Amino acid sequence: MLSKKTQYALKALGYLAGKYGQGPVLISEISIEKKIPIKFLETILLELKQANILESKKGKGGGYYIAENPKKISLARAIRVVGGPIALLPCVSLNFYEKCLDCDEATCGLNKAMALTRDATLKILEKKTLAELIDG
């Protein structure tokens, strides 16, 4: 299951994708439209900015906007930034790998099965982009 935080992030990104090219969008606007607690949303957007998915402008007329064409940003990338690993086990994670303590990966059936599901999941999440989160 994706965490609430990750779900909020994806909803916010979908909203911003729909406004791509139209200048900065207020945190408060996203918060109201997408029903996300504003203070929580602040921290999420900041993380996405630090990962170069979003950019921001301070002061009057400021707000957040997507840093590059939404079609160039995959869901996998966004999920990793706010939600961590996509794989079901650390020993099959590409970006957050940790070795299994008590099994040999070459012969572990569980490892094989989970590596397959990781591949299947990534095939979709690397392909889908923020542009496909736009409403309607």
Q: Which residues bind its own copies (CB under 8 A)?
A: 1-2, 7, 10-11, 14, 34-35, 75, 84-85, 87-90, 101-103, 107-110, 112-113, 116-117, 120-121, 123-125, 128, 132-136
Q: Say what the alpha-carbon torsion angle 27, 33, 36, 42 is, to the nearest 10 degrees.
A: -10
Which amino acid type is present at position 32? I
26 DSSP assignment: -
- The token duo for 24 is 């900065």
What whole-number distance in Å separates Cα of residue 57 and Cα of residue 17?
Answer: 17
Least gap, CB of 94 to DNA (angstroms): 19
What whole-number distance in Å separates Cα of residue 112 and Cα of residue 36?
Answer: 38
Q: Rule CB under 7 A: choose which of 84, 90, 105, 123 binds DNA.
A: 84
Q: How far apart are the first and last CA of the chain?
A: 25
> If contact means CB under 5 to 8 A according to the sort of partner, which of its own copies, DNA, none does residue 56 touch?
DNA
Output 57 or 90, the one with its CB closest to its own copies: 90
Output 21 or 136, the one with its CB closest to its own copies: 136
26 binds DNA (CB under 7 A): yes
